[in-house]
Amino acid sequence: MKVWVWTGYKLEQLKSISVGPRIKDTLELCEGIVEGPFILAERDITLPMRGSRNQRILYTKDLDLDTFEIKENL
């Protein structure tokens, strides 16, 4: 089963808010995160998994879920 999360937040915002253990545990169950708010002016229905061009797809395997940093060794 593949689970995805649409946060509405940018990765930088997630780093600055207090991320408790429940959020980390939830994200560990996910394959990917779509970060960024939906912006109607940037709407693009051709994009996979997202609704506007400002949103970015992040795979949790590429993230350090303790710091919300993208792993260097990709």
- List pLDDT tens digits, range 3-62: 999 989 888 887 777 666 777 788 888 999 999 999 999 999 999 999 999 999 999 999
Structure-token pair, residue 30: 């996910």
**Tally of CB atoms within 10 A around 68:** 20
Confidence of residue 73 (pLDDT cuts 50, 70, 90): low
* Torsion angles phi and psi, residue 14, rounded to 5: -60, -35
The answer to whether the CB of 55 falls within 8 A of the CB of 7 is no
Judged against a pLDDT cut of 70, whether residue 68 lies above it is answered with: yes
Phi first, then psi, for residue 63 (nearest 5°) are -115, 145
